């Protein structure tokens, strides 16, 4: 999510070497000539021009021409450096990244390029390492070559920060971003994204949200950024800010999906706005659909429980029992009916749960059904439920207690008759 820089080898080469060569081949003014520390010979410049023109038709011949000229110039000279840079360009154009590493290292090691060109060459090698998934080597290269980050360009700081972040060093990645952002005239979204990711890795989520807010100020219809912002606020514990972010996104037509709607209800629940959460969930469950989940029903019931509205909680459970395929709804209803003394309803609730199938802890469900049947005087049903509870590996002590209760109830009935 934070890789908005030159990502392909071809773009890396074009970005860094071609611009360098064009500026070198242009005829400099007298003032510019005075600033030049070193300039390649006319023979080297001519070779570079010919090789560049030839590379469009025959890259192999162009590479051979450059190698031959490299053999004629002094090793480590400015001519050698620019010839290698041109050859590196050809290698990158052909996606021969691995082969570009050695001439890049040599050119950097010569240290004959003026500082900004040297920095761009180091950055170019960093891009190559990055493309080859050699991030650790990229970071080590930058650590050796860039001793003072404050003197680096924004481009170098950006890729440096990415490498540090991916090498699990978010503190230093954040530092590089902060230096780069202090140099930026305009908002740099890529740097903000890297800074936000670094802060998230450091668990500084509120600060991360500030950078995401900055990006949204320029790209308000970016749904991914809204997701990141809502997540950052929620994970930081700032639930009102998370709720507000959802509301802001929805006002511009985003985040109106079903998942976000439920998230709003859950946030209200966490904030203990139970009545508002229940009202929103009731609207959602007015016409249950395939998107309706077990969690939706349980959240609604929990909202009523938190308000001590037991009748509404039971009514919601009865609707869930009728409309949903989950036996948990029936078993929760059975438990509530047990507490209210409606034993006939308990037995029917348990039977309905088993009709739906996939009952969790079936032994407990059958022992509850057995207890209800005993209370109703349905001794045969109670005995059958106990047999099923025993087969489901229910707690032997519970079964034993219920069997004694069943025996006493039968004995009492016999005495009365």
Q: Of 112, 145, 178, which one is at a domain's C-terminal end?
A: 145
User: What CATH number did the domain enclosing 103 receive?
Assistant: 1.25.40
Q: What is the pLDDT of residue 204?
A: 97
Q: Are residues 283 and 362 in the same domain?
A: no
CA distance 142 to 132: 16
Q: Is the pLDDT of residue 19 over 50?
A: yes
- Separation CA 236–CA 185 (nearest Å): 30
% residues pLDDT > 90 (the chain): 83
Instruction: Let me know whether 277 and 417 are in one domain.
Output: no
382-410 mean pLDDT: 92
Task: Say what the pTM is.
Answer: 0.75
Q: Quick check: 147 pLDDT over 60?
A: yes
Q: Are residues 22 and 132 in the same domain?
A: yes
Tell me, yes or no, whether 263 and 363 share the same domain. Answer: no
Overall average pLDDT of the 36-52 stretch: 85
Residue finishing a domain among 145, 175, 192: 145
State whether 137 and 33 are in the same domain: yes
Residue 394, pLDDT > 80, answer: yes
Would you say residue 222 lies in a domain?
no
- 138 found inside a domain: yes
For the stretch 95-144, pLDDT in tens is: 999 999 999 999 999 999 999 999 999 999 999 999 999 999 999 999 99
Last-in-domain residue among 120, 145, 170:
145
- Check residue 39 and give its pLDDT: 83
The answer on 24 and 87 residing in a single domain is yes
| Vertex 238 angle, CA 232 and 239, to 5° | 100
Instruction: Please give the pLDDT value at position 37.
Output: 52
Query: Quick one: 318 and 346 in the same domain?
Result: no
Is the pLDDT at 9 greater than 80? The verdict is: no
Mean pLDDT of the chain: 89
Residue 414 within a domain: yes
pLDDT for res 34: 40
266, two tokens: 């859950």
Q: What is the pLDDT of residues 291-316, one digit of tens each?
A: 889 999 999 999 999 999 999 999 99
Mean pLDDT score, 327-355: 94
Q: Is the domain of 388 the same as that of 317? A: no
Residue 177 contacts residue 191 (beta carbons within 8 Å)? yes
178 domain residue, yes or no: no
DSSP secondary structure of 325-391: --HHHHHHHHHHHHHHT-HHHHHHHHHHHHHH---SSHHHHHHHHHHHHHHHT-HHHHHHHHHHHHH
Residue 302: domain span: 257-324
| Distance (Å) of CA 18 to CA 103, 121, 126, 249, 254 | 16, 12, 17, 43, 42
Query: Does the structure show a pLDDT above 50 at 13?
Result: no
DSSP 242-291: HHHHHHHHHHTT-S-SHHHHHHHHHHHHHTT-HHHHHHHHHHHTSS--TT
Name the domain count of the chain: 3
Q: What is the pLDDT of residues 342-385, one digit of tens each?
A: 999 999 999 999 999 999 999 999 999 999 999 999 999 999 99
Q: Find the mean pLDDT for residues 69-97.
A: 94
Both 46 and 128 in a single domain? yes
Q: What sign has the CA pseudo-torsion 208, 209, 214, 218? A: positive
* Alpha-carbon torsion, ordered 392, 396, 400, 406, to 10 deg: -20
Whether 35 shows a pLDDT value over 90: the answer reads: no
**Residue carrying structure tokens 């924004």:** 154
- Is 377 found in the same domain as 265? no
Mean pLDDT confidence for 192-206: 96
Look at residue 241 and tell me if it is in a domain: no
């Amino acid at each position: 999510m934070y890789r908005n820089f030159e990502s392909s080898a071809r773009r890396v080469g074009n970005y860094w070497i071609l611009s360098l060569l064009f500026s070198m081949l242009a005829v400099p003014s007298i003032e510019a000539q005075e600033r030049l520390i070193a300039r390649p010979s006319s023979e080297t410049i001519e070779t570079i021009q010919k090789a560049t023109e030839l590379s469009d038709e025959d890259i192999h011949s162009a590479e051979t021409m450059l190698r031959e000229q490299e053999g004629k110039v002094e090793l480590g000279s400015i001519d050698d450096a620019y010839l290698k840079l041109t050859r590196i360009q050809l290698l990158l154009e052909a996606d021969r990244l691995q082969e570009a590493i050695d001439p890049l290292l040599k050119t950097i090691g010569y240290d004959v390029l003026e500082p900004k060109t040297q920095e761009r060459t180091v950055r170019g090698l960093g891009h190559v390492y990055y493309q080859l998934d050699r991030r650790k080597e990229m970071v080590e290269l930058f650590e050796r070559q860039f001793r003072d980050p404050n003197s680096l360009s924004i481009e170098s700081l950006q890729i440096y920060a990415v490498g540090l972040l991916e090498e699990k060093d978010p503190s230093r990645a954040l530092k590089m971003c902060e230096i780069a952002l202090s140099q930026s005239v305009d908002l740099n979204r890529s740097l903000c994204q890297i800074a936000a990711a670094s802060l998230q890795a450091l668990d500084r989520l509120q600060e991360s949200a500030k950078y995401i807010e900055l990006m949204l100020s320029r790209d308000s219809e970016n749904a991914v950024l809204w997701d990141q912002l809502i997540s950052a606020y929620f994970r930081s514990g700032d639930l009102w800010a998370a709720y507000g972010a959802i509301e802001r996104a929805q006002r511009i037509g985003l985040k109106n999906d079903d998942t976000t709607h439920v998230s709003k209800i859950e946030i209200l629940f966490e904030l203990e706005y139970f009545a508002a959460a229940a009202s929103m969930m009731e609207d959602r469950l007015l016409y249950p659909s395939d998107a309706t989940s077990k969690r939706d029903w349980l959240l609604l019931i929990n909202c009523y429980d938190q308000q001590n509205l037991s009748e509404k909680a039971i009514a919601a459970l009865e609707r869930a029992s009728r409309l949903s395929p989950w036996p948990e709804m029936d078993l929760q209803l059975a438990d509530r009916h047990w507490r209210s003394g409606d034993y006939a309803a308990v037995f029917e609730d348990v039977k309905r749960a088993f009709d739906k199938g996939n009952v969790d802890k079936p032994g407990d469900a059958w022992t509850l059904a057995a207890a209800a049947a005993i209370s109703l005087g349905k001794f045969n049903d109670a005995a059958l439920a106990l047999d099923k509870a025993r087969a489901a590996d229910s707690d032997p002590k519970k079964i034993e207690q219920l069997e004694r209760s069943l025996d006493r109830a039968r004995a009492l009935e016999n005495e009365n008759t």
